[in-house]
């Protein structure tokens, strides 16, 4: 065998050896994508089947797709009211969380506050508290101020509970703003409030949007607070309202819970699509720096 043939064979083996890790990584990604997407596709397929068709073939493709399960769930559960309530809680609660976090984040990132590291660490302890550990004190507080089973009470709970994460995001984002901009404003005679309101706050809009979006999604998916602090069906968010689908009436029905789940997740999917560039464009990594 000639040297040229041996060299060509060695090059082919080397080329295959270099491509093999990429093929293995691609195969692994495809498997993980199938594992992640499989249940989602199954839920969507179930939601457009009749119950009889689902029982005949749970994993089969729909032969006669129908939107009747969506109609039955929408009017049977009053999904319009549930979605409206969740939108109120997520919108107002996220706005309150961001508003409460703006001043502490500015002070901890741009000002020489004594013991600011300790203060920052104390604020972040809120991220380490599971919801179950604060249910009793929050319940007693809401009952004292007659805010149980009210929309405003749950909004306040979401805002306060979400504030520590917003402080973490906004403080990190504000530390990335060049200090020269701030110094120039002070040279012009600006006060601390003017620097915050006219300089730092406008430059922090990307970080605010990231924090608001993440908090919105968290509140939309939240279940425990709504279940414990609300009793009236007219105040239920969508996560609590869907408990009806677990009643005896729906035990033998599979397409209605699937349709309800799809409807409840659509707003989050739409929000993620609209804010994907903002979140993935580097603003999130900048927002949690420092």
Look up the CATH architecture of domain 68-287. Answer: Orthogonal Bundle (1.10)
Least confident of 52-56, 264-268, 274-278: 274-278
pLDDT of the residue at 127? 85
Residue 36 pLDDT greater than 60, yes or no: yes
How far are the Cα atoms of 127, 171, 238 from residue 159, in angstroms, in the given order?
13, 17, 18
Nearest-5° angle of CA 151, CA 153, CA 159? 100
| Domain regions of the chain by residue span | 3-47, 68-287
pLDDT of the residue at 11? 54
Percentage, residues of the chain above pLDDT 90: 36
State both tokens at 119.
Answer: 């203060």
State both tokens at 265.
Answer: 């997740």
pLDDT of the residue at 183? 86
- In degrees and rounded to multiples of 5, residue 208 shows phi and psi of -65, -45
Least confident of 65-69, 112-116, 130-134, 275-279: 275-279
The mean per-residue pLDDT over the stretch 15-29 comes to 75
Q: What sections of the chain are H helices per DSSP?
A: 3-47, 51-56, 68-77, 79-110, 116-124, 131-144, 151-174, 179-187, 192-195, 201-203, 205-221, 224-229, 238-241, 255-278, 284-287
pLDDT of the residue at 170? 92
Percentage, residues of the chain above pLDDT 70: 87
């Amino acid at each position: 065998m000639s040297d040229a043939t041996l060299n060509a064979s060695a090059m082919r083996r080397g080329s295959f050896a270099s491509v093999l890790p990429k093929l293995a990584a691609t195969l692994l990604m495809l498997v993980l994508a199938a594992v992640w997407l499989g249940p989602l596709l199954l839920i969507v397929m179930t939601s457009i089947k009749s119950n009889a068709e689902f029982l005949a073939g749970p994993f089969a493709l729909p032969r006669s797709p129908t939107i009747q399960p969506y109609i039955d769930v929408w009017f049977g559960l009053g999904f319009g009211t549930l979605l409206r309530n969740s939108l109120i809680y997520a919108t107002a609660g996220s706005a309150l969380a961001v508003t409460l976090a703006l001043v502490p984040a500015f002070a901890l990132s741009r000002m020489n506050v004594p013991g600011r590291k300790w203060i920052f660490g104390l604020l972040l302890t809120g991220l380490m508290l599971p919801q179950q550990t604060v249910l009793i004190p929050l319940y007693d507080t809401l009952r004292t101020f007659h805010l149980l089973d009210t929309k405003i009470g749950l909004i306040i709970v979401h805002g306060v509970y979400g504030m520590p994460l917003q402080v973490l995001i906004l403080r990190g984002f504000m530390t990335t703003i060049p200090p020269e901009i701030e110094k120039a404003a002070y040279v012009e005679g600006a006060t601390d409030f003017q620097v915050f309101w006219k300089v730092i706050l406008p430059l922090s809009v990307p970080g605010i949007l990231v924090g608001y979006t993440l908090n919105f999604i968290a509140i939309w998916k939240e279940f425990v607070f709504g279940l414990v602090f609300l009793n009236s069906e007219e105040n239920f968010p969508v996560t609590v309202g869907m408990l009806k689908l677990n009643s005896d009436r729906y035990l033998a029905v599979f397409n209605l819970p699937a349709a309800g789940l799809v409807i409840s997740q659509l707003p989050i999917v739409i929000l993620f699509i609209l804010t994907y560039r903002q979140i993935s464009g580097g603003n999130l990594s900048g927002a949690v720096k420092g």
